[in-house]
């Protein structure tokens, strides 16, 4: 039985997608806790409605990033986490934090990394005139939006797209690839080698809706 803890800051739709897939497919997991730095995060309501224990750790209550991350580690380890899922968690984590969870902390980013790390990815893809865009699930390493890629999902950019229409299409893909990546992890199919993730037995790690 795997223990999963998730960190969120907002809507929590990725957490919801993962939880619903876990329930529908009867994964051998327990969602031991959901922690938010934002007391208003909507995702907390979903977690509570499913009986998952929740915690708010407001970063504004801490004097430094180090102090916040230490408190976060304390809470996460109290819950017990074989897998730590960042699902729209909008804080940069310290190298010490990331080291502590090395190999068991994953994130989703709304672009086809290494293109467009950071914020405003949909606007950037539109401005660049790209014809496709997407999302990436990756293990977290010290750099922002870096780390070995588990899988990517590609969607088309349509002629009349604006950032919000494009974001909605990417979000649908996120809700498909994040549960998929978690399922691979809990089934122990992932092997990290340098900056590459191999999946055993092999399966496509690039999903395209184009």
Q: What is the C-alpha to C-alpha distance for residues 73 and 51, in angstroms, rounded to an integer? A: 22
- The least CB distance from residue 175 to ligand GRF, in Å, is 8
Query: Residue 33 contacts by C-beta under 8 Å, 6 or more apart in sequence?
Result: 5, 6, 52, 53, 54, 55, 75, 76, 79, 81
**Tokens for 34?**
């959901």
11 carries a ligand binding annotation? no
- The least CB distance from residue 163 to ligand GRF, in Å, is 12
- Closest residue (Cβ) to ligand GRF? 88
104 carries a ligand binding annotation? no
Contacting residues toward ligand GRF, per CB under 6 A: 8, 10-14, 43, 87-88, 108-110, 135, 171, 174
- The least CB distance from residue 201 to ligand GRF, in Å, is 28
Active site includes 109? yes
Q: Which residue among the candidates 2, 59, 74, 109 is catalytic per the annotation? A: 109
Three-state DSSP class for residue 188: coil
Nearer to ligand GRF, 74 or 97 (CB): 97
DSSP 6-31: EEESS--HHHHHHHHHHHHTT-SEEE
90 carries a ligand binding annotation? yes
Q: Exposed, middle or buried: residue 152 (CB in 10 Å: 0-12, 13-18, 19+)? A: buried
13 carries a ligand binding annotation? yes
- The least CB distance from residue 142 to ligand GRF, in Å, is 18
Nearer to ligand GRF, 69 or 145 (CB): 145
Nearer to ligand GRF, 58 or 191 (CB): 58
Q: Catalytic residues, which ones?
A: 109
């Amino acid at each position: 039985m795997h223990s999963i803890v998730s960190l969120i800051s907002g809507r929590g739709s990725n957490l919801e997608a993962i939880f619903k897939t876990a329930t529908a497919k009867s994964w051998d997991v327990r969602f031991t806790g959901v922690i938010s730095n934002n007391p208003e995060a909507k995702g907390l309501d979903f977690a509570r409605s499913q009986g998952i224990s929740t915690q708010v750790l407001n970063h504004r209550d801490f004097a430094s990033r180090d102090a916040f991350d230490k408190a976060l580690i304390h809470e996460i380890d109290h819950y017990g986490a074989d897998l730590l899922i960042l699902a729209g968690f909008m804080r940069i984590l310290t190298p010490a934090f990331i080291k502590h969870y090395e190999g068991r902390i994953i994130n989703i980013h709304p672009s086809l990394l290494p293109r467009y790390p950071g914020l405003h990815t949909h606007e950037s893809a539109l401005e660049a005139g790209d014809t496709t865009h997407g999302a990436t699930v990756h293990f977290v390493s010290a750099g922002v939006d870096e780390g070995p890629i588990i899988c990517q999902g590609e969607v088309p950019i349509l002629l009349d797209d604006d950032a919000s229409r494009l974001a909605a299409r990417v979000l649908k893909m996120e809700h498909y690839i994040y549960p998929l990546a978690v399922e691979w992890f809990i089934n122990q199919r992932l092997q990290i080698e340098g900056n590459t993730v191999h999946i055993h037995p092999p399966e496509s790690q690039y999903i395209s809706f184009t």
